[in-house]
Structure 1
């Protein structure tokens, strides 16, 4: 006879359009008027990442009008809920991303629609961006499952998920058709029982003590996450 496991669970809170402050970046609710010029330069300017749009379901945008329309649609959305990344050193918008697939009753939420300008990629600020959203979801809002999904051919996104502490769960074959092509989707997650180790690793990695004078990291994020506890 089926006997479901009972859990002590109360629904999580839905995220709101509130800024998140870090040491290197600030996440602000996306505002096309305030952020549009910076994002156009970061994502479509002459020094933009040439493969940024390859695995996203939209873009590139050769024309500014189409880009603004795309941003305005994201600004109005509540799921996905979009945040703009502000680099505190330059006070410029350098990318955007979202919380999405938001299901408070089941306690699951996803980080997705990640679009970082080339100078933002592989920086301390990029890691802090994910830390701010993950902490908001797991610590502040009380979610029990944080998801990451990407095209199974997107090696950069797969590596990023694993570096950040997401565990690979499998691949949904022929999951979607994107830009006229098949997409197999790789699924990753962090669940609440895994989050304390991830939280501790993020905190240690982001500490100034983890960086040499030239900015090089002293310990990798995965080293800190997998270090034996004392």
Structure 2
């Protein structure tokens, strides 16, 4: 029997999405969590711009947010680029806020482990999700009309990846999210008014980017394919 967070997504989830460089499989805590935290636990900087931390990724993010939400699916990303070698866990990526009615989704949970950063992994993982999301059902995709990408305005790396893949800046969502207590980076620099119910928590401003079906059909598909094939 498939795990709940696999079958709970509002679209059928394939057993994997892959090319000759990376493979995405649904993230199952029983199979992937230990290996992920063994690699990510020593690198708290991976979570600097996220609204959760490594310690609550399974209990809060997966069990309370992803599993119950039909609009969200999380994948484990494996590097498969070395011929003859076993696939190496390289990070996570997923879709969230997916609407079958509105044919829209958002790429999120993009966490690439340090040894795989600035390689082919992130661009190929995101590219596979874009192909799945934006291609028509006849071509093996979901036929969605819009894919969003949201990033902390200070997260230049995330914004750079999105723009390389063809996402366009659409605006800034001010005071968009509360950052976990204890974080000193990633805040918007705004003060806290008297009577605020969470005075010890910073807030972040979020940059919103979008890539739509007409962008995809008018050149973004070819651009993404070239980026994924780059050696």
* Residue 221 of structure 2 corresponds to residue 199 of structure 1: yes
- Structure 1 runs not aligned, ≥5 long: 1-12, 212-230
Question: Aligned residue for 2:48?
Answer: 54
Contact 1:43 1:115 (8 Å CA) reproduced: no
2:117 and 2:72 map into 1 onto residues whose CA distance is 22
Counterpart residue number, 1:76: 67
Matched, 1:146 2:147: yes
C-alpha spacing 1:159/1:205, structure 2 compared with 1 (3 Å): closer
- The reply on whether 1:111 has 2:102 as its aligned counterpart is no
Cα distance per residue 1:134-156 (max 9 Å; x no partner): 01000010011110011112222
Displacement of 1:24 in angstroms is 0.9
Does the CA-based 8 Å contact 1:177-1:183 persist in structure 2?
A: yes
Determine whether 1:122 maps to 2:114.
Answer: no
Q: TM-score, normalised by structure 2?
A: 0.75
Give me the CA root mean square deviation.
Answer: 2.1
Match of 2:157 in 1: 156
Matched residues in 1 for 2:46 and 2:26: separation? Answer: 21
2:41 maps to 1:44 = yes
- TM-score normalised over the length of structure 1: 0.75
Aligned to 1:177: 178
Q: Partner of 1:227 in structure 2?
A: none
Q: Name the count of aligned residue pairs.
A: 190
The separation in 1 between residues aligned to 2:143 and 2:10, in whole angstroms, is: 9
Paired position in structure 2 for 1:8: none
Deviation at residue 80 of structure 1 after TM alignment: 2.0
Q: Is the 8 A contact 2:52 2:61 kept in 1?
A: no
Shift of the alpha carbon at 1:17? Answer: 2.9
